[in-house]
Structure 1
Amino acid sequence: MGKARKPKVHKNKLNPTGLVDGNALIDQELSNGKSDSPIHAIAEQLQSSSAEEKICGLQTLATICQNDVNLTALVESDVVRIAASLLVDPDQSVRHATAGAFRNLSVLSVEICEYMVDQDVLTPLLALLNKYNGEWKPTIDRNMHDQLDEKSDTFLQAVNLLWNLCESTTLALDTFNQSQLLESLVKCLDWQIYGKEIAVTVAQCLLVISEDNTACWRILPNFGNELSSLLTLDGDNSCVLLRTVAAGIIANVPAIGSIYFSQLFATLSKTLDVNHRPVLGSLTSSLPLLNQKDVVHLEVTDDSHMDHESAEQAFQRRRRADMPSEVELEIRNVGWLLQAQRIAAEILTNICSTGEEEWHDEMDDDNLSDAESVHDYETTEQNDSLQNTDKLPTEILEAIKSYGFVEKLWQKAQPIAENVRQILVENDKNLFKRVNNLRASSMLCLHNLCNNISTEDLGGAEAIYQVWLELGQQVFQGEKNPRLLEASTSLMRATLEHLRKNPELFRQMTETDLQLMLTGVTDCHDPEIRANWLRMLGLLGCLLSEPLIKLIINFVLTTCLKEQDLWTISEAMDSMMDIFSENDWNQIVHDLDMVTKCKELDRRMKIKLKQNKRELNERYPAVCTVRTNLCRFCKYLETEMKKFRPSAEV
């Protein structure tokens, strides 16, 4: 119990370029009273015989669904099903606009991706991608920052869409497995032919597709040489990203990963070696220049000339208008680095996960023997033994140690300088989000390493204690980003597991210090983070003095009696029971009327287990185990209280 679920390598999703802002069109349409619904207007445009009308509707669709009202109207209409057929429209520009609009839509949520699959977007999407199955090569314009021709950019948008759908729903992945498109996608990893932008996007799509997908595992070993050749790629940050993602694909496929084991770890180390802080510092000195682009420059155009331009000329005109500035190119370059380092951390997380825990069948709680005692749930000794044992295969452990991954990941987990943070927040929130994602992924990787590497190999108890203190300072003094808080508290909890036998490190801890953690639980609205806090309180209850232990137990019981989330209650009670593994604390049990409170919690857990079995999913067996132990714990406390004479009565 307590091991983080194996995280997927999540992508940063960028909006497609080349699509005009449809908000002004919608506002104008509504103000003129032409339609009560922009969705209705889009549906009419999509069904027009005019390619220009279709493109206009698609460009509007690409922009309006950031609004929840429009999104609700969209899913209640047939617009997605109507637009899906345009992925194979005879007009290239229509296909391009459709792929871009659907890509924009697919980044909104998993639920939207599931809806798109339900609306049968996959059939025309796979048919579109199948058109690129022959001797196709993109045209890359070196004079326009390597921008792609329209046909190639359509392919790029389509692959991004496929990537998002396959990551969001297994139905999309199963459908892709039957499409026989995998080999043609792998060929596009040749960046010298297809360019780095296409190669990187295809690689990231394959990274998602190859995870836990045995259908892919039968094909990808045939391309081991092509994938491994990318591990030696040097160059700008697009090269860093491409070689890192290639390492991830190799790590996903057992038959290749075992062959290129050494190169794989060397690649991940090389990616994490780059210090992103000076890179961000240099960039932020230029970021305010972006604000100059907010000034609207009116361009006088010859409308009569535009009326006679071809589709290709119109596409080239839009490309020139959308050409990124030098600062925007640098932002993209830095974004690639942050993305590569985040993916490297997540690859390591997956490699260092020891697999899902095995659980026994749920026991019949009502038939527990009265002879069962506290020793049935004593796990501290076992946990101590586990924390001092390396659980990883020797070759992986040696690679982790020799490349210094623990230290490198800890550096990536640190907050950036305050002045740099402020500039990013004010000028490029997407890049700031990538910084936070890198920090969170690094901490989650360290969390897995803490669960699988001995205290000694992590640097010793004193070093781990310093990490715990620094994390605490960051949590209480830093920004309240939910993903960072969950990652930080997960790592704090994992480090604390290693300090069970080091109470001397906590001698200076006062009630004021402890109160910070209690406040952290009280003020937290996220059940996952609350579970981490409560778990830590239970661990501290094995390390602190009796007055603080009493405060912890009282707080945990009171909090759990008000808690609605069953997993949070389970984590808290499991940890609290550990407090009694080495000391009965009978006076505390008596003073806090623990028998009554624990029986009430046992009753509530039993009811909630029946109600929430489906929602708990893979956590259900773990919660059952805790509830079984809690039932035994109640019986044990009752037995002890019958023998106990309170100090006031002695």
Structure 2
Amino acid sequence: MGKTRKNKRLIPRVNPLGIPSNREVDENEELFGINDHPEGPIQAIFEQLQSVSVEEKMNALQSLALMSASVDKARVLSSSEIIRVAAPLLMDRSQPLRNATAGALRNLSVCGVDVCENLVEQDVLTPLLALLNEYAMNPTWVPIFDQELNNQLDEKSDTFLQAINLLWNLCESTSVALENFNQTSVVQSFIRCLDFNVFGLDISIAVAQCLLVISEDNANCWNILNNFVQEFLCLLNIDGDPSHALLRTLAAGILSNVPALAAAHSAKILEALAKTLDLNHREVLGSITSKLPLLEEQDTLIDVSDNPNAMEEETDEAASRRRRLQELPTEVELEVKSIERLLEAQRVAAETITNICSSDDDEWADDDNDENSDAESVHDYENSNNSSTNLQNIDRLPVDILEAIKSLGLIEKLWQRAQPIPENVYLILQESKTKLSKKVRSLRLSALLCLQNLCNTMTTEDLGGPDAIYGVWLDLGQQVFQGPNDIVILEPATSLMRASLEHLKHSPELFKQMTLSDLELILNGLQNCSEAEIRANWLRMLGILGCLLSEPLVKVIISFILETCLKEDEVWTISEAIDALMDMFSDNDWEQISFELNLQQKCVELEKIFKTKIRQQKRDLKDRYPAVMTVRTNFTRFVKYIEGQMKNYKPQRVS
């Protein structure tokens, strides 16, 4: 065993959870001396990696891992020659170097798609897949859990854990990584790692997360997974803490990704997901807030030069053990990790339900695409003005799935996960060095999107009836107008409001109490919104409300839509507004309003603007182009209809 010269210095405690601050990153760069290099820290790391000294390489890899906390630095690092030098160390004879390299590259890979693409371009996959193949070719390998290290994995097993996480991130970010992975034969050998009683929850969860990613729309993987049905079905029945819930949920997600397995086991999959959504995330988040300040106190530096047991020279194994002792998570960090896994499990559950209830198959989801909701079929305004058919009275889900959703109470459970947590709790989470606030946000986002999808695929009665849907619509409105203006949450929230309102087209009695001040909240929200998608949702809602409200409020809506169209830059949003305008005339002529607002002239002017913007933005519309063209065709007929209407109309005289 080789020896390393240990310089007396402070050793930074790597935070196992969360992301170090920029200040900490800079301090650690100074600690390793890389800022002193005349050509900068990247060149310093580059030279350290090429050193014959194991300790120099270890210092370089730890610097690389720490610098990954900054996304900007990660992007520079991932595109540099440092990666080409570091990646081969995944296959180094030194196990500590393998472990440090896998950890550093994994840290880099969480910094975004562009970083992962750079890593693939710098040929990380060749040594990574070679490393994983070593484990695959060794059927006797199992982890060793060190009781002196709080049952932490041995270094070789931890290297596998880091490598699997790295592969997962790369395959999720770039198709090139997935294509390369498909050419290997390691999937089958790693199914055994799902046995958490042997391999531990950390490895089983990481393997399951990787399988969830690579099994999505990947027929090559399906053929293999079909041979391990019982292994996945067994995981659907496990109970325990949030880590067990996450593994159960991931197994359900993997089964749902394989068409044959999803069809055969949909009831069991949904039962497993319902069990995950039963857990109350708000309670556990409230309980952790008082402990989060302790994480700040634990983020300290350990002075090994004052340790009487520290030797001037230590073996590689001893140095590695010292580093692992230094990085052991505390009780609070383990509790945070458990809560993060709960939030992740519930997010995956919501996304899996969305996938199960969505389909590209014509027999199931003819109306799931946006064109049907965003641009109705051509309507002949000259010859027909009858009310449109209610598209919300037909379920678009298989009976077994529909019955499971209803019997398991999935809508109610998803609605609870979509609720904002108390503002004081959220602020504490944001100020902490954990990922909890981001995971709470991601959970809300996924739950809202799932509920929107269910609104588009289930009947009004199966969703709980008009009164229940109206309650959801009101609650969402209060959250949108009274809560923080978070664009990420605002888009799915307004999309769900829009989908909910579609179910209320034939329930005008619910809106009798709506006043001008209530309506102005929506109008003001639209005026202050910078996102075209959200503006389109607002406009769609206005069109539906225009079919439900009294004439004075309808006049305000029509006037507002016309003004918005004349000022709007995005042709897609204009098409949504025009479609909303036409919807309001499907059940009522509104002749007096048309006369008072000079609708005929304004529509002629708007038609010219609309056609011009279509020509200008045609290439940007992409898959939305057909829907926009349908609106254009409809609007031409609508303009002619209004012209004919006004020719024969005799305005009412006010006495």
Q: Normalization by structure 1: what TM-score?
A: 0.88
Give the whole-Å Cα distance in 1 for the aligned partners of 2:239 and 2:514.
49
Question: Residues 105 and 618 from structure 1, CA distance in 2 versus in 1: closer, same or farther, beyond 3 angstroms?
Answer: farther
Say if 1:21 and 1:59, in contact at 8 Å, map to a contact too: no
CA shift, 1:516, in A, is 1.0
Say if 2:353 and 2:450, in contact at 8 Å, map to a contact too: yes
Give the whole-Å Cα distance in 2 for the aligned partners of 1:203 and 1:634.
56
Q: Does 1:581 align with 2:591?
A: no
CA shift, 1:623, in A, is 2.9
State the partner residue of 2:82. Answer: 79
Say if 1:379 and 1:578, in contact at 8 Å, map to a contact too: no
Q: Does 1:195 align with 2:200?
A: yes
CA shift, 1:606, in A, is 4.2
CA shift, 1:619, in A, is 3.1
CA shift, 1:457, in A, is 1.1
The one-letter code of the counterpart of 2:215 is: S
Q: Does 1:150 align with 2:136?
A: no
Q: Does 1:538 align with 2:543?
A: yes
Question: Residues 628 and 58 from structure 1, CA distance in 2 versus in 1: closer, same or farther, beyond 3 angstroms?
Answer: farther
State the partner residue of 2:165. Answer: 160
Q: Deviations over 1:432-488 (max 9, x none)?
A: 222222222222111111111111111111111111111111111122222221221
Any residues of structure 2 matched to 1:554-569 within 5 Å, and which? 554-569=559-574
User: What's the secondary structure of 1:416's corresponding residue?
Assistant: coil
Q: Does 1:62 align with 2:65?
A: yes
Any residues of structure 2 matched to 1:151-300 within 5 Å, and which? 151-294=156-299, 298-300=303-305
User: What's the secondary structure of 1:381's corresponding residue?
Assistant: coil
Any residues of structure 2 matched to 1:449-464 within 5 Å, and which? 449-464=454-469
Give the whole-Å Cα distance in 2 for the aligned partners of 1:601 and 1:115.
47
Question: Residues 420 and 81 from structure 1, CA distance in 2 versus in 1: closer, same or farther, beyond 3 angstroms?
Answer: same
Q: Aligned to 2:400, which of 390, 395, 399?
A: 395
The one-letter code of the counterpart of 1:237 is: P
The one-letter code of the counterpart of 1:132 is: Y
Q: Return 5+ residue gaps in structure 2 as ranges.
A: 1-15, 372-377
The one-letter code of the counterpart of 2:128 is: L
Give the whole-Å Cα distance in 1 for the aligned partners of 2:292 and 2:247.
26
Question: Residues 36 and 91 from structure 1, CA distance in 2 versus in 1: closer, same or farther, beyond 3 angstroms?
Answer: same
Q: Aligned to 2:628, which of 607, 623, 628?
A: 623
Q: Does 1:639 align with 2:631?
A: no
Structure ranking higher on relative contact order (CA contacts 8 Å, 6+ apart):
2
Q: Aligned to 1:348, which of 342, 345, 353?
A: 353
User: What's the secondary structure of 1:387's corresponding residue?
Assistant: coil
Percent sequence identity is 54
Say if 1:30 and 1:36, in contact at 8 Å, map to a contact too: no
Q: Deviations over 1:398-449 (max 9, x none)?
A: 1011111111111222222344334333435521222222222222111111
Q: Aligned to 2:575, which of 565, 570, 575?
A: 570
Give the whole-Å Cα distance in 2 for the aligned partners of 1:166 and 1:550.
53
Moved more, 502-511 or 91-100: 91-100
Any residues of structure 2 matched to 1:351-390 within 5 Å, and which? 351-355=356-360, 373-374=380-381, 381-382=388-389, 384=390, 386-390=391-395
Q: Return 5+ residue gaps in structure 1 as ranges.
A: 1-12, 363-370
Question: Residues 633 and 121 from structure 1, CA distance in 2 versus in 1: closer, same or farther, beyond 3 angstroms?
Answer: farther
Moved more, 505-514 or 88-97: 88-97
Give the whole-Å Cα distance in 1 for the aligned partners of 2:615 and 2:151.
58
CA shift, 1:21, in A, is 6.6
Give the whole-Å Cα distance in 1 for the aligned partners of 2:314 and 2:607.
75
The one-letter code of the counterpart of 1:117 is: V
Moved more, 494-503 or 440-449: 440-449
CA shift, 1:210, in A, is 0.8
User: What's the secondary structure of 1:480's corresponding residue?
Assistant: coil
Aligned pairs, number = 625
Say if 1:570 and 1:626, in contact at 8 Å, map to a contact too: yes
User: What's the secondary structure of 1:188's corresponding residue?
Assistant: helix
CA shift, 1:499, in A, is 0.5
Give the whole-Å Cα distance in 2 for the aligned partners of 1:408 and 1:467.
13
User: What's the secondary structure of 1:179's corresponding residue?
Assistant: coil
CA shift, 1:126, in A, is 1.4
CA shift, 1:51, in A, is 3.0
Moved more, 461-470 or 561-570: 561-570
The one-letter code of the counterpart of 2:181 is: F
Give the whole-Å Cα distance in 2 for the aligned partners of 1:89 and 1:604.
65
Question: Residues 614 and 199 from structure 1, CA distance in 2 versus in 1: closer, same or farther, beyond 3 angstroms?
Answer: farther
Say if 1:23 and 1:63, in contact at 8 Å, map to a contact too: no
Say if 2:444 and 2:489, in contact at 8 Å, map to a contact too: yes
Moved more, 70-79 or 521-530: 70-79
Say if 1:425 and 1:432, in contact at 8 Å, map to a contact too: yes
Give the whole-Å Cα distance in 2 for the aligned partners of 1:54 and 1:635.
76
Question: Residues 643 and 578 from structure 1, CA distance in 2 versus in 1: closer, same or farther, beyond 3 angstroms?
Answer: same
The one-letter code of the counterpart of 2:318 is: Q
> What is the RMSD of the two structures over their aligned residues, measured on CA atoms?
3.1
User: What's the secondary structure of 2:216's corresponding residue?
Assistant: coil
State the partner residue of 2:93. Answer: 90
The one-letter code of the counterpart of 2:216 is: E
Give the whole-Å Cα distance in 2 for the aligned partners of 1:31 and 1:376.
78
State the partner residue of 1:440. Answer: 445
Give the whole-Å Cα distance in 1 for the aligned partners of 2:32 and 2:225.
50
Q: Does 1:39 align with 2:46?
A: no
The one-letter code of the counterpart of 1:263 is: K
The one-letter code of the counterpart of 1:571 is: E
CA shift, 1:570, in A, is 2.9
Q: Deviations over 1:325-373 (max 9, x none)?
A: 111111111221121112111111111124365899x9xxxxxxxx973
